[in-house]
């Protein structure tokens, strides 16, 4: 991961931890194992890259079990189609929305 993206991901994870009061070591990893019954209790409002953020923070906020398993990243082949600035703003907005919505 390029240094700037890694720093941005770390900053978003730290912000999510501040918002939830729980450490969120890898907020942006796409791997999720989810209890379907718990998932049905959540009304997700996003469909883009920020979906992982909304899903994780909703689980944490509701007191559902969330565990992080370290993931080893390898150098990506080709160019990313994601815009770090645009996606970062969308993730920040998702953090804000989850933080301010009623349980």
Q: How far apart are CA 78 and CA 36, in angstroms?
A: 34
Assigned token pair, 53: 């953020």
- The reported pLDDT for the residue numbered 18 is 93
Contacts of 54 (CB under 8 A, 6+ apart): 44, 45, 46, 94, 97, 98
Give the whole-angstrom CA distance, residue 44 versus residue 94.
Answer: 10
Q: What is the pLDDT of residue 54?
A: 93
Give residue-wise pLDDT tens across range 45-70.
988 889 989 999 999 999 998 888 87
Better-predicted residue by pLDDT, 28 or 73: 28
Q: Contact 50/87 with Cβ under 8 angstroms?
A: yes
Res. 30: pLDDT tops 70: no
Q: What pTM does this model have?
A: 0.83
1 contact partners, CB below 8 Å, separation of at least 6: 9, 73
């Amino acid at each position: 991961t390029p240094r700037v993206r890694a720093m941005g991901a770390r900053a978003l994870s730290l912000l999510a931890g501040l918002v939830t009061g729980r450490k969120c070591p890898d907020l942006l990893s796409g791997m999720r194992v989810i209890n379907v019954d718990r998932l049905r209790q959540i009304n997700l409002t996003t469909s883009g890259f920020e979906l992982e953020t909304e899903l994780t923070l909703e689980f944490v906020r509701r007191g559902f079990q969330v565990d992080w398993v370290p993931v080893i990243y390898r150098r990506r082949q080709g160019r990313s189609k994601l815009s770090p600035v645009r996606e970062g703003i969308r993730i920040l907005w998702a953090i804000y929305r989850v933080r301010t919505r009623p349980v």
